[in-house]
Amino acid sequence: MKLKLSFAWVTACLLLAGCAAPVELIKLDNEWARAYTGKLEAERTNPDKFLVATSFEPQLVDLSIRAEKAGDAIAASDPAMAVGFYRVAASSAWKSGSAREAQVLAISDKAGKACASLPKQDASQPRDCIFLKLVPQLALFDVKAREIKELVSAGPTIPPAKHARSLELVNEIGGSPDGIVARVLAGYRSVETVAPTLRGYLADNLTVEYCAIQNFFGSFIGSLPSPAQVDSMRTVVNGAKASLEAAQISTTCK
Amino acid sequence: MNPTLILMAVRAAVRLRRAGSEALGQYARDRAVLLPMVDDIAFPERAKVLGFFGANENKITVELRPYWESLSKQGAPKRADALDLLSAEFARLQIIDDPKLAPRADEFAGQWMIKQWARGEEPPGPFARVVLVIVDVAAEFAATDPKLFGIDGNAESLVKAMAARVAELVPDNADALGPRNLFGERVAAIFLKAGLGALAEHPEAIVDEAHLQTLVKNTLPKLVESLPNALDKQIAWRAVVENVLGPVAGEALRTVAENPQAFFGAQFGDDDLLGTLTRTYLLKVADVGLKEVVSRAGAVKLYKATVQLAAARPDLFIGKPQDATDKLLAAVFADLASVAAGAPPFDRAMIVDLAASVLESVARDGGSLLNADKPWDNLVAQLLNPVLASVANAVKQGDSAALRRLRSRANIEAMLRVVIAQIAATPGMLPSTGTAEIDRLITAVVTAMAKDEHLLLSQEDWIAILTVAAQEVAANPGRLLSVGKSTAAGSLLGTLLGDALAVAAAQWNTAGRAGGAVLFGATLREAMIVAIRAYASNSAAALLHSAKVKDLAAQLGELVTTNLTKYGGKEWLFLYRAHIFQVIETGNLPKLDDETIEAALGAAGAVP
C-alpha cells in the first residue's frame, strides 16, 4: 500500500512539475501571437493609435512580466525552458513600446546567461538564443523609429534646427560599425547554419531598417539642408546599403 | 514477481514520465513561433522617391537630372511635374533591379514564423523518438530479466509487434513534434512497459505474435488519432488515457497470455475483439473522464469485468466487434450514471465495484440473460438498482449495527450474486414482470435484515435465506410476493421473515443465551428456510394463518426455555418442522405435552 502511494505521489509530482512549464510556454506563446497580431491590425486600422495605447500595450506589458517571471523561476533548474519564456518576455516588452521596452536589455542579459548554461550554449537553442542576443538592437530601432516619425510628421519638412539631430539619428541606425544595422547584420552573419527562416526574419528586419534611413534621407533632402549635410547622410545611407547588398540582403523599399 | 523487476519497472516509469515531459518541453521550445518585426515607418511618396535617388544618384539620367535638382537643391528652378516623373522612374527601376523582390505583400509589417533549427540540425524526429523509447524500455527489462528476451521469450514478440506499428504512432501531420506525435511516443512507452510487465508474470505462456500484432494495431494508433485538438481537452483527455492505459494494457496482455482462445481463433476470423474492446473502453473512459469511474482501480476493475463478459459470450460480438463493444460500453456507462444518481447513500467507487461484480457474475452465471437482440440494455441497472434501492431505503432508518452490515459492500455483492444466479436460472424473472419481482424479494429480505438489531443471523445466514427465497420466488412468485397485487398488501415473505425475527428477538430480550433462547444462528436460519418452503407450498392458507405460525414459534421457544436441560435448538427445529404444515393448514396450534413432543421427536429420529 505504502509503495503504491509513494509511486502515485512520485508520478503525480513528475507529471505536474514536468509538464507545467511547457504547457505554460505554449499558452504564453499563443497569447503573445494573439496580442501582437491584434496590435498590428489595430495600428493599421486606427491611425490615431488610441486603441493600441489603451488596449494592446498594457496587455503586452502584463504578458512580458508574466513570461519574465516564469523564466526567472526556472532559469536555474531548466535554462532551456527559461530561454523560451525570455523570448516571449523580450518580444512583448519590446512591442509594448515605451511602457516596458527598457526591460528588454535586462531580459536579454538573463537569457544570455541561460543560453550560456545550455549543453551547447547558443547552439542548443539557436533561434531563441540568437534572437535574444539581437533583441536589444531591434527594440532600439523602434525607439529611433519613433523619433523619426516625430520629425517627419511635425510638418511638410524637417525644421533646420533638427537637421543635425537627423544626421545623428541616421548615423545611429545605419552608421558603421556601431549602428543598429551593423550590429544586427553581424548577428545575421553569425547564423549561417541556423534555420533559414531566422535568417529570412533578420534580413527582412534589416531591409525595413535600411528603408527607414533611405526614406528618411528623402525627407531630409526635401527639407533642403546644406549640401554638406546631404553628402554626410548619403555616405551613411550608402554605407548601410553596400553592407546589406554584400550580404545579399534586399535594399528594395516599397 | 521478482522484486528487482518491480524496482526496474518503477525506474522505467519514472524515466519514461521524465522523457515524456522532456518531449513536451522540446515541442514547446522548438515549435515555430512568431517573432516581432521592427516598426515599418510610413513615409510620404515624395520622401521615398527622394530617398531612393538620393542614395542612388548614378541612376538619375541626364534627362531627369533637372527634375531631381528641382526637388533637392536650394535655388534650382522649380518644375511642377518633377515628383511625378521621378516617381515613375523610381517604380520602373525597382522592377528592373529585382523583379522577384516585390515590396512585402503584407498589409502591415511582415510576420515571421521562425523555426528553431535548420534542416538536418534538428533533434531526433517523432519516428526516431518512438523507436528510441521502445529500445530504451526493452533494454531495461532485458537487463533485469534476460529470459524475457531469450528463446521463446514473449517480450521479443511484443517488441516486434510494437516495432511493426511505429509508423502508425507517428501521425502524418505538418507539425513534426505536434501533440499527437508526442502522445504516440508516450502511448508506446506506457503500453510496452505494461505489456512487458504482464508477460514477465507469465514466462510459461506461449504468446502468439500475431495476436500481439492485432492487439497493438487495433489499440494504439486509434488512441493517438483520437486525441482532441483543443489544448484544454487534450490535457484532460491525455491525462485520463495515460493514467489508465498502463493497467488496462497489462490486463489485455495478461488475457492474451492466459486465455488467448477467449479472443483469438478460427471463430473470430479477422475480428480483433480484445483490441477493439480495449481501445473502445479507453476512449470511453477518456470521454466521460476518470471521475465517472472514480479511480484508476475502478476503471481497471470495470475493464476486467467487461473483458470477462466478452470472453463469456463471444457470439454476441463476432462479425460486429466495434458495434457490439460500442453498445456494451455505452450501456454500462449509462447504467453506471443512472444507478449512481438513484442511490445517493453509496459512494461512486462502491457502485463501480458493484457494477464490475454484476458484469463478472453475468459472465460467470448469467450468460442466458444476454438477449442476442439487445444484450446490454439496462443490464447493470436492472440488476443493481433493486438491490441498491432496497438497501438505500432500509438504511435511511438509522445507523444500527444491522444497518451498517446491510450496507456493506460484501453484503450487497453477496446479495447481487444470489439474485443474478437465480435470474440466470430463471430468466423469466426479469422480462416477465420488469424488476417488480426482484424489488419485492430484495425488499422483504432487506427489511428483515434491517430489523436484526441483535445480529441473530450472520450475513452468510441471510444470504442462505435469500437464496432459498429466490428459488421459491422463481418457482412461483405469486405465492410469496403477491406479484401483480397492490404493494400495500405487502408480501407473505416479508411477513414470514418479520414474524420469525420478532419471535427470536423477543426470546433473546427475555431469556438471552443463558436463559435458553435458541432462535439465532443456524436454528433461526433453518426455521426461516423451513417456513419459506412451507409458505410457498400453501400460500393461501399461510396468508390466513401466519399469525398462528408466529405463535407456534413462540410456543416452541417457551417450551425450550422452561425445559433448558431437556430441549435445545435442535429439538425446537424438529418440532417446528413437524407442526408448521399443520398449523398453516388448520390454523390450530398443536398440543405440546411430553407425550406428543416425544412422539414428534421420535418420528423425526431426534428423541432427546
CB B133 within 8 A of CB B90: no
* Nearest neighbour of B38 by CB, restricted to A11, A138, A233: A138
Residue B99 pLDDT: 47
Q: Which residue of A has its CA nearest to B112?
A: A201
Q: Which residue of B has its CA nearest to A206?
A: B38
Residue B489 pLDDT: 44
Chain A residues with CB under 8 Å of B58 CB are none
Rounded to the nearest angstrom, the minimum Cα separation between B410 and chain A is: 21
* Nearest neighbour of A222 by CB, restricted to B10, B22, B47: B47
Q: Is the ipTM of this complex over 0.85?
A: yes
Rounded to the nearest angstrom, the minimum Cα separation between A50 and chain B is: 17
Select from A238, A231, A243, A136 the least CA-distant residue to A181.
A243
Chain A residues with CB under 8 Å of B41 CB are 145, 148-149, 152, 212, 215-216
Residue B601 pLDDT: 78
Residue A3 pLDDT: 37
Chain B residues with CB under 8 Å of A242 CB are none
CB atoms within 10 A of CB B229: 8
CB B358 within 8 A of CB B378: no
Q: Do B235 and A145 touch (CB under 8 A)?
A: no
Q: Could you tell me the maximum CA-CA distance found in chain A, to the nearest angstrom?
A: 89
Q: Which residue of B has its CA nearest to A28?
A: B28
pLDDT digits (tens, 9 = 90+) for B255-264: 888 877 777 7
Q: Do B36 and A91 touch (CB under 8 A)?
A: yes
Residue A233 binned pLDDT confidence (cut-offs 50, 70, 90) = very high
Q: Do A128 and B116 touch (CB under 8 A)?
A: yes
What distance in Å separates the CA atoms of residue B391 and residue B408, rounded to the nearest whole number?
10
Rounded to the nearest angstrom, the minimum Cα separation between A93 and chain B is: 11
Select from B141, B512, B114 the least CA-distant residue to A200.
B114
B52: contact with A, CB 8 A cutoff: yes
Helix axes A79-95, A104-116, angle to 10 degrees: 160
Residue B510 pLDDT: 83
**Position A103 pLDDT exceeds 50:** yes
Average pLDDT over residues B443-466: 88
Residue A217 pLDDT: 96
Average pLDDT over residues B529-552: 89
What distance in Å separates the CA atoms of residue A32 and residue A56, rounded to the nearest whole number?
11
**Position B606 pLDDT exceeds 60:** no
Place of cell 502468439: B208
More confident position, B291 or B503: B503
3 state SS of B69: helix
Chain A residues with CB under 8 Å of B46 CB are 218, 222
What distance in Å separates the CA atoms of residue B277 and residue B325, rounded to the nearest whole number?
6
pLDDT digits (tens, 9 = 90+) for A2-15: 334 333 333 433 44
pLDDT digits (tens, 9 = 90+) for A110-133: 999 999 999 889 888 989 999 999
**Position B515 pLDDT exceeds 90:** no
* Nearest neighbour of B34 by CB, restricted to A36, A141, A218: A36
Residue B486 pLDDT: 46
Chain A residues with CB under 8 Å of B55 CB are 214, 217, 234, 237-238, 241
Q: Which residue of A has its CA nearest to B297?
A: A4
Q: Do B28 and A212 touch (CB under 8 A)?
A: no
**Position A180 pLDDT exceeds 70:** yes
B540: contact with A, CB 8 A cutoff: no
Residue B564 pLDDT: 81
Average pLDDT over residues B316-341: 82
Q: Do A252 and B116 touch (CB under 8 A)?
A: no
Q: Do B35 and A25 touch (CB under 8 A)?
A: no
B115: contact with A, CB 8 A cutoff: yes
Highest mean pLDDT among A118-132, B100-114, B367-381: A118-132
* A224 grid coordinates: 533642403
What distance in Å separates the CA atoms of residue A238 and residue A214, rounded to the nearest whole number?
9
3 state SS of B112: strand
**Position B397 pLDDT exceeds 60:** yes
Select from B75, B74, B77, B67 the least CA-distant residue to B46.
B67
Chain B residues with CB under 8 Å of A93 CB are none
| Chain B stretch 28-47, residues whose beta carbon is closer than 8 A to a beta carbon of chain A | 28-29, 31-41, 43-44, 46-47
Residue B3 pLDDT: 46
More confident position, B289 or A247: A247
Residue B345 pLDDT: 65
What distance in Å separates the CA atoms of residue A234 and residue B323, rounded to the nearest whole number?
78
Chain B residues with CB under 8 Å of A227 CB are 73
- The CA–CA distances, whole Å, from B178 to A42, A195, B18, B118 equal 31, 19, 18, 18
B21: contact with A, CB 8 A cutoff: yes
Domain ranges of chain A: 3-124, 137-246
The percent of residues above 90 in pLDDT, for chain A, comes to 61
* Nearest neighbour of A221 by CB, restricted to B22, B50, B115: B50
**Position B347 pLDDT exceeds 90:** no
**Position B592 pLDDT exceeds 90:** no
Q: Choosing among A214, A226, A231, A250, which should be mutated to test the B contact, i.e. which has the most B CBs within 10 A?
A: A214
**Position B488 pLDDT exceeds 60:** no
Average pLDDT over residues B45-64: 88
Rounded to the nearest angstrom, the minimum Cα separation between A232 and chain B is: 11
B107: contact with A, CB 8 A cutoff: yes
**Position B142 pLDDT exceeds 90:** no
Residue A96 binned pLDDT confidence (cut-offs 50, 70, 90) = very high
Residue B105 pLDDT: 34
Average pLDDT over residues B553-558: 90
* B249 grid coordinates: 494494457
B91: contact with A, CB 8 A cutoff: no
pLDDT digits (tens, 9 = 90+) for B563-576: 888 888 888 999 99
Residue A182 pLDDT: 95
Q: Do B117 and A195 touch (CB under 8 A)?
A: yes
Q: Do B117 and A194 touch (CB under 8 A)?
A: yes
Task: Indicate the average pLDDT of chain A.
Answer: 87
Chain B residues with CB under 8 Å of A148 CB are 41
Report helix, strand and coil shares of chain B as percent, to nearest 5.
Answer: 70, 0, 30
Q: Which residues contact B262 (CB under 8 A, 6 or more apart)?
A: B255, B311, B314
Instruction: Mean pLDDT check: name the lowest of A136-145, B72-81, B93-102.
Output: B93-102
* A204 grid coordinates: 527582412
Residue A10 pLDDT: 35
Q: Do B41 and A215 touch (CB under 8 A)?
A: yes
Rounded to the nearest angstrom, the minimum Cα separation between B85 and chain A is: 16
Task: Indicate the average pLDDT of chain B.
Answer: 78
**Position B229 pLDDT exceeds 80:** no
Residue B432 binned pLDDT confidence (cut-offs 50, 70, 90) = very low
**Position B434 pLDDT exceeds 70:** no
Distance from the first to the final alpha carbon of chain A: 72
* Nearest neighbour of A221 by CB, restricted to B36, B72, B98: B72
More confident position, B498 or B400: B498
Helix axes B321-342, B379-395, angle to 10 degrees: 10
Average pLDDT over residues A227-249: 94
Residue A160 pLDDT: 92
Residue B46 pLDDT: 87
Sign of CA dihedral A153, A159, A161, A163: positive
Residue B1 pLDDT: 40
pLDDT digits (tens, 9 = 90+) for A32-48: 998 998 888 888 887 66
More confident position, B65 or B272: B65
* Nearest neighbour of B25 by CB, restricted to A7, A81, A254: A81
B109: contact with A, CB 8 A cutoff: yes
Place of cell 433453518: B526
What distance in Å separates the CA atoms of residue B252 and residue A92, rounded to the nearest whole number?
50
State yes or no: cis peptide before A177, omega within 30 of 0.
Answer: yes
